[in-house]
Amino acid sequence: MLGRSTAGRLVLARRTPALFFNGAQTPATRLLAPPHCMRLSQRGIFTSADWSNKRWLTPVAAVSVAVGVMTFAFVGYGMFFGPSAVYPKPVRTLLREAGMAYLRTADKQDLPRAVECYERALELLDELGGSDPRLAADSPHVTGVVARIAAVYADMGDLDGAIRAYTDLLHRILGDDGMADPRTQVALLLDRELPKERRENILRALGSANKLAETYEARAARSKRRSVLLADPDMEAGDVKEASRWYQWCLQVVMLTYQNHFNHLQLEKNQPLTNTPSFDPSTLPGYFSHQVVTSLFYNAATFFAGHGQFQYAVPLLQRGLDLLRRGADGKEEGVCRSCVLMSHLANAAVLTSDLPAAERWAIEGLALARQFPKNEDCLGSFVALTYNLGVVYEAADKLESARVQYRQAVEVARSIGDTGAEALATAALSRLA
């Protein structure tokens, strides 16, 4: 669940620069005003288009559920027909009809009917919210319905509708101040006396903000495909700016919360404060799992890399790799996710002409990828890492070594049906013929 496209499985790694305490900017803060995209200077197996095709996004439901159980909840049978007495009968009826239209196999779904019923149910809930605190605008019973509306719109391919729904959900939970300034949510998360329900709401907002960023990113990519005028959407495009804004919002909430939490632990141990938290999973706040944080880093990293901003992407990938600890548990999932991150790091190093770093990441990643030769992420990463190592050797004028790597990339890409990677490696062989 870690990669992107062909390369996706192989493309993920960077290290976030040191965090700065006592008011100085964190990397997330510095992301607020990124420079224009840099031009790519080397061939890499992952082009900017590849970076936008995320394959290692913890599946939509998985990310959101991990970030906050109710963020994209309202999916279970029991939520509609089980302990749903909190809803008045007309709302239960609408939710049941919506579920019957939506929670079916793709060939039997009626998405327009589903979204119609969900929206009518939401209208009723909003009318009742003023008199019943259980149905307030930011209650889980209501925000769950809003999240489902966003999901249905996304499944319909109606990105405008999905953006409206996610924005509505965030406004219900955060208000104008919280949407404008993520530090308001950091302060709340750090409050040990914060009620559990309020903390869960903030985590739901975090998951929803990530989905909103992804949706803006998808709409920007769609606009690019439809317009002959846009060779590549840059950071000045409206949807790209909004995607950047919400990825940054997520990063600031996570990074600032973690930094302060980490230094609080340092104080409790009578140890000096540090500007560089360890990014050891054991030092994360209990409400952040390393899987969720790594997923958020990866999503943002692939976005920035897709716009040539490797100075932001690489640190995020590296912090994600720190949290995965390069598959230190030795289990297949952790090892192959680490491979994906390393392949992204190797590719970024190639594209920024840092060939020593590219060679280092490629060799380390290949050693991991060989451990699980049947795993999809490890296989995809093997292709990308092998290709990038070929680029390194070609640049060093070690042409025979480069040919060996390109041939391996061709063979493995062909075996897994990755025609894009096969074509790229074949072209590289032809170039050296």
Q: Mean of the pLDDT values across residues 351-365? A: 96
Contacts of 139 (CB under 8 A, 6+ apart): 129, 133
Question: What does 381-405 look like in DSSP terms, one character per residue?
Answer: HHHHHHHHHHHHHHHTT-HHHHHHH
Contacts of 345 (CB under 8 A, 6+ apart): 12, 13, 14, 314, 317, 318, 321, 357, 361, 365
Can you say whether residue 353 is alpha, beta or left, with left for phi > 0 and alpha for psi between -120 and 50 degrees?
left
- Which helix (DSSP H) or strand (DSSP E) does residue 54 occupy? strand 54-55
What's the pLDDT tens digit per position in 187-216? 999 999 999 888 988 999 999 999 999 999
- The boundaries of the domain holding residue 253 are 3-432
Closest to 178 measured CA to CA, from 194, 169, 65: 169
- pLDDT at 68 > cutoff 50: no
What is the CATH classification number for the domain harbouring 116? 1.25.40.10
What pLDDT score does 45 carry? Answer: 60
Q: 60-67 and 290-306 helices cross at what angle (nearest 10)?
A: 130
What's the pLDDT tens digit per position in 242-276? 999 999 999 999 999 999 999 998 998 898 888 87
What pLDDT score does 130 carry? Answer: 86
What's the pLDDT tens digit per position in 334-346? 999 999 999 999 9
- pLDDT at 9 > cutoff 50: no
Q: For 129-195, where are the alpha helices, taking DSSP H only?
A: 140-156, 159-180, 183-189
Whether 215 contacts 64, CB under 8 Å: no
Q: In the chain, how many domains are there? A: 1
Closest to 57 measured CA to CA, from 220, 331, 297: 297
Evaluate the CA torsion angle 42, 27, 240, 38 in order and state its sign: negative
For all residues of the chain together, what is the average pLDDT?
Answer: 81
Count the helices and strands in the chain (H runs, E runs): 18, 2
Question: pTM for the whole thing?
Answer: 0.79
What pLDDT score does 67 carry? Answer: 35
Q: What is the CA radius of gyration of the chain?
A: 23
Closest to 355 measured CA to CA, from 396, 302, 397: 396
Q: Which residue has the higher pLDDT, 187 or 43?
A: 187
For residue 275, CA distances in Å to 19, 26, 183, 371 come to 5, 9, 18, 35
- pLDDT at 303 > cutoff 80: yes
Residue type, 131: S
CA separation for the pair 420, 413 (Å, rounded): 8
- pLDDT at 221 > cutoff 80: yes
What's the pLDDT tens digit per position in 123-173? 999 999 989 988 999 998 899 999 999 999 999 999 999 999 999 999 999
- pLDDT at 398 > cutoff 60: yes
